[in-house]
């Protein structure tokens, strides 16, 4: 059975840079608080009525296709990970497909929030290894900035953390069994679903959308930050250690760890627990904030383009987010 390799990557973020100081105009917060608690300095936001998630995904995909020297028509399927779809349904995958002009190939949406890219990677890996598809486009794309609670004080809880952007990877089979995706481990624990969620609008309520939902802000994200933090710093290192053990590898074998970018303090704690030094870890949360499913492929593409990630390197990926869902992956680049 072939292994799955990353053929090429790409990313795209909106032009508009939003510094912490600007957020202090919307909420009772400060640059000092945001930097100290999260490490975030800036994030990118789309212009209202500007780029959509699938527009961002399209640009990221074009860059990946350029790097691969491949036309869009060579793609066999699309996996589109997002928590911020443009429409309630259909998912974003078909809009990206339409923009790419590749009618007919399957387009699957993955709704696993910050773990979306790893869940998508696991699906892509299965399809490629079994020969179902040979060229899989895996995209993470998010527009958070349009769904933040600017008009309420509690909006600061998540509002200061989120950014917009998209990252793409083109995956395919390699016959070189010393390279490629070594393994992906996925986890979920729905007991904690309410600790980070959008309570409405959904089909649990009848009627499913009323003025009360809007008045009570049920369409905005809510997060129990400390609880999420506590679980993230425990479960991310555990998920990675388990996979390293399976592969008979250790943390010292890792050339590059790209963890989900929610909070620099979380990633520093993860690195500390695994005994990794700074040179083994890449973070860009300072510049982009948390772009959820787009986070890992954006960081990955930056590492590829800056030669921070080179052929033969052992790449570790780990993510944690709403659900709770989390996971890890190891890739011999």
d(C-alpha 333, C-alpha 331), whole Å:
6
Kindly list the distances between the CA atom of residue 155 and the CA atoms of 23, 33, 140, 151, 164, in Å, as whole numbers in the listed order: 11, 15, 24, 7, 17
* 290 noted as active-site residue: yes
* 11 noted as active-site residue: no
d(C-alpha 250, C-alpha 242), whole Å:
10
Q: Restricting to residues 42-71, which ones interact with ligand ACO according to CB under 6 A?
A: none
d(C-alpha 32, C-alpha 39), whole Å:
10
Nearer to ligand ACO, 147 or 249 (CB): 147
d(C-alpha 53, C-alpha 51), whole Å:
7
Kindly list the distances between the CA atom of residue 247 and the CA atoms of 143, 179, 241, 255, 266, in Å, as whole numbers in the listed order: 36, 13, 10, 15, 25
Q: Does residue 226 bind ligand ACO (CB under 6 A)?
A: yes
Q: Does residue 114 bind ligand ACO (CB under 6 A)?
A: yes
| Closest approach of ligand ACO to the CB of residue 287, in Å | 17
| Closest approach of ligand ACO to the CB of residue 253, in Å | 26
Q: Does residue 157 bind ligand ACO (CB under 6 A)?
A: yes
Site size for ligand ACO, by CB under 6 A?
23
| Closest approach of ligand ACO to the CB of residue 297, in Å | 16
Q: Does residue 292 bind ligand ACO (CB under 6 A)?
A: yes
Q: Does residue 38 bind ligand ACO (CB under 6 A)?
A: yes
**Burial (CB count <10 Å: 0-12, 13-18, 19+), residue 279:** exposed
Nearer to ligand ACO, 174 or 290 (CB): 290
Nearer to ligand ACO, 209 or 224 (CB): 224
The residue from 113, 185, 291, 328 that contacts ligand ACO (CB under 6 A) is 113
| Closest approach of ligand ACO to the CB of residue 131, in Å | 33
Nearer to ligand ACO, 155 or 172 (CB): 155
Q: Does residue 262 bind ligand ACO (CB under 6 A)?
A: yes
Q: Does residue 144 bind ligand ACO (CB under 6 A)?
A: no
d(C-alpha 320, C-alpha 326), whole Å:
4
- Return the range that interacts with ligand ACO (CB under 6 A); candidates 43-51, 116-124, 202-210, 226-234: 226-234
Residue number with the smallest Cβ distance to ligand ACO: 321
Task: Please name the residue ranges forming H helices in 53-163.
Answer: 53-68, 92-100, 116-129, 156-159
Task: Please name the residue ranges forming H helices in the chain.
Answer: 20-23, 31-38, 53-68, 92-100, 116-129, 156-159, 211-215, 225-246, 264-274, 285-288, 295-305
Q: Which of 12, 112, 114, 263 is catalytic?
A: 114
* 114 noted as active-site residue: yes
Provide Rg for the chain, Cα atoms.
19
Q: What are 199's two structure tokens?
A: 């309570």
Q: Does residue 29 bind ligand ACO (CB under 6 A)?
A: yes
Residues acting as catalytic residues: 114, 260, 290
Q: Footprint of ligand ACO on this chain (CB under 6 A)?
A: 29, 33, 37-38, 83, 113-114, 156-157, 160, 196, 225-226, 228-229, 232, 262-263, 266, 290, 292, 321-322
């Amino acid at each position: 059975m072939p292994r799955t390799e990353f053929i090429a990557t790409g990313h795209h973020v909106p032009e508009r840079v939003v510094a912490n100081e600007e957020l202090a105009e919307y909420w009772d917060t400060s640059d000092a608080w945001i930097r100290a608690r999260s490490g975030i300095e800036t994030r990118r936001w789309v212009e209202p009525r500007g780029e959509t998630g699938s527009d961002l995904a399209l640009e990221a995909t074009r860059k990946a296709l350029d790097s691969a020297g491949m036309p869009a028509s060579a793609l066999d399927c699309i996996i589109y990970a997002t928590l911020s779809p443009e429409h309630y349904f259909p998912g974003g995958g078909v809009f990206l497909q339409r923009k790419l002009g590749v009618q007919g190939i399957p387009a699957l949406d993955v709704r696993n929030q910050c773990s979306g890219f790893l869940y998508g990677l696991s699906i892509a890996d299965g399809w490629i290894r079994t020969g179902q598809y040979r060229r899989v486009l895996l995209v993470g794309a998010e527009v958070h900035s349009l769904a933040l609670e600017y008009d309420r004080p509690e909006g600061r809880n998540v509002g200061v953390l989120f950014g917009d952007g998209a990252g793409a990877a083109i995956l395919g089979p390699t016959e070189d069994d010393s390279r490629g995706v070594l393994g992906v481990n996925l986890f979920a624990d729905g007991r904690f679903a309410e600790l980070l969620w959008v309570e409405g609008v959904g089909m649990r309520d009848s009627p499913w959308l009323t003025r009360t939902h809007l008045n009570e802000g049920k369409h905005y994200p809510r997060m129990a930050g400390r609880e999420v933090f506590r679980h993230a710093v425990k479960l991310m290192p555990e998920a990675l250690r388990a996979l390293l053990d399976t592969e008979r590898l250790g943390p010292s074998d890792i050339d590059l760890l790209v963890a989900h970018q929610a909070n620099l303090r979380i990633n520093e704690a993860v690195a500390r627990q695994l005994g990794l030094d700074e040179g083994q870890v890449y973070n860009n949360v300072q510049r982009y904030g948390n772009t959820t499913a787009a986070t890992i492929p954006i960081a990955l593409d930056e590492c590829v383009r800056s030669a921070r990630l080179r052929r033969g390197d052992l790449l570790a990926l780990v993510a944690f987010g709403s659900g709770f869902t989390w996971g890890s992956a190891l890739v011999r680049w």
